[in-house]
Amino acid sequence: MSKLRWGMIGGGQGSQIGPAHRISAALDGHFHLTAGALDIDPARGRAFAAELGIAEDRAYGNWQEMLEAERTRPDRLDLVTVATPNATHYEISRAFLEAGFHVLCEKPLTMTAEEAEHIVAVSKETGRICAVNYGYSGYPLVRQMKAMIAAGELGDIRLIKAEFAHGFHADADEADNPRIRWRYDPEQAGTSAVFADAGIHAFHMACFVSGQTPAELSADFASMVGDRQLEDDAMINIRLSEGALCRLWTSAIAVGRMHGLTLQVFGEKGGLSWQQQHPEQLHWTPLNGRTQVLERGDASLSPQAVRASRIPIGHAEGMPVAFANIYHDLADVLRAEQRGEEPDPLAMDFPSAMDGLWSMRAIEAAAQSARSRGAWVGL
Ligand code: NAI
């Protein structure tokens, strides 16, 4: 089976997220890194592309050059990943979708809900996929949670507790470090800092596993370090479409917390608990029953979790492997399209532009609610 042709924008040498994408896309052998505009500096981008084995004529100085050249090639790209800084996502994703490319965009999809609505509309009009890299939803046991909830094993979902709290912006002496400062500057970061950057993953996970959409929310934002204008800690209550309540805590000042992404779901028939730092175990407690530990790699898990696992039970997988499940899903869908067949329904679990839009609505609603001392805001 020939490989799918894959292009990257951003993710240049030294970038934070670029390597995770390259590992993830390569993991199952579906994608070949064929073209790229990898860096804001054209020369550095071309040099790094050469190092990665991209042919000289497909190592571009910028994304506009890449778009113009790739759109007319008979061997055009099957998928383009956008891994540039946030403010560029809308323009780049939109341009590639309009030119007929499938896109996987890093989060956040856009800077505003209005822009995200445009992306959803363009994706619909062109029939091109716009996936968003809420990659933590690729963990096998997160997919197990979703499958158990969908199968009714928890009954009606009453409460979700979602957290993404770390402590890496807690040092007041570091607050003026330019790498940290911009995140709390509304001119550069938008209306929200830690919720938009970290908490939004917890928000997506709550919606993903429950299969519910957000209806309204109430937020309390706090800025605890120096003269930060945007929040470094937030508590958000979210009412979901089928009646579940999600209580979400996100923080950048929780000293001692590392990645701090956790998810607990409490239904009328039982509770589930998962921590991203211990992703190989899922705790399941049936009502009035004993707590059981479900292990990733157990063949008796749901088909969704089994499909998302690669390494035998007891051997830890990890974050790039979770991201690889997004690429695996996309590869299956793209190959089905090429064969003119319907995709495997199990491959349709990747986060879409609609998820990106809900996230942008949530960020705007949370900022609005926080400004009015926690008033409930509809989404
Ligand atoms: P970074 O600053 O470490 O790297 C950005 C890269 O993009 C650099 O190589 C830079 O030269 C390149 N670049 C910038 N503007 C460009 C342009 N116009 N054209 C081509 N290349 C350009 O940033 P990082 O941390 O890798 O973040 C990138 C994106 O990934 C952000 O949107 C961020 O929110 C997202 N991200 C997502 C994570 C997730 O869990 N899904 C985790 C970390 C980041």
Q: Is 127 in the pocket of ligand 1 (CB under 6 A)?
A: no
Strand partners, 271: 266, 285
Query: At residue 211, what is the residue type?
Result: G
As a whole number of angstroms, the distance between CA 258 and CA 277 comes to 8
Q: Is 15 in the pocket of ligand 1 (CB under 6 A)?
A: yes
Please provide residue 282's backbone torsions phi and psi, each rounded to the nearest 5 degrees. -125, 125
Query: What per-residue string of b and e applies to 187-200 under the rule 16 or more CB within 10 Å gives b?
Result: eebbbbbbbbbbbb
Atom of ligand 1 nearest to the CA of 13: 9
Q: Is 246 in the pocket of ligand 1 (CB under 6 A)?
A: no
Q: Is 196 in the pocket of ligand 1 (CB under 6 A)?
A: no
Ligand 1 centroid – CA 17 distance (Å): 6
Query: What per-residue string of b and e applies to 10-35 under the rule 16 or more CB within 10 Å gives b?
Result: bbbbebebbebbbbbbbbeebbebbb
Task: Say if CB 186 and CB 180 are below 8 A apart.
Answer: no
Ligand 1 mutation target, pool 22, 39, 86, most atoms within 8 A of CB: 39
pLDDT for the residue 274: 98
pLDDT for the residue 1: 76
As a whole number of angstroms, the distance between CA 348 and CA 316 comes to 25
Q: Is 112 in the pocket of ligand 1 (CB under 6 A)?
A: no
The ranges of the chain with pLDDT < 70 are: none
Q: Is 39 in the pocket of ligand 1 (CB under 6 A)?
A: yes
Which are the contacts of 45, defined by CB distance < 8 A and separation ≥ 6? 12, 36, 37, 38, 39, 59, 60, 61, 62
Ligand 1 centroid – CA 82 distance (Å): 8
Please provide residue 194's backbone torsions phi and psi, each rounded to the nearest 5 degrees. -70, -30
Prior bond of 108 cis (ω within 30°):
yes
Q: Is 355 in the pocket of ligand 1 (CB under 6 A)?
A: no
Q: Is 137 in the pocket of ligand 1 (CB under 6 A)?
A: no
As a whole number of angstroms, the distance between CA 80 and CA 97 comes to 9
pLDDT for the residue 267: 98
C-alpha gyration radius of the chain = 21
pTM (2 d.p.): 0.96
Cβ neighbours, 10 Å, residue 110: 27
Number of residues that make up the chain? 379
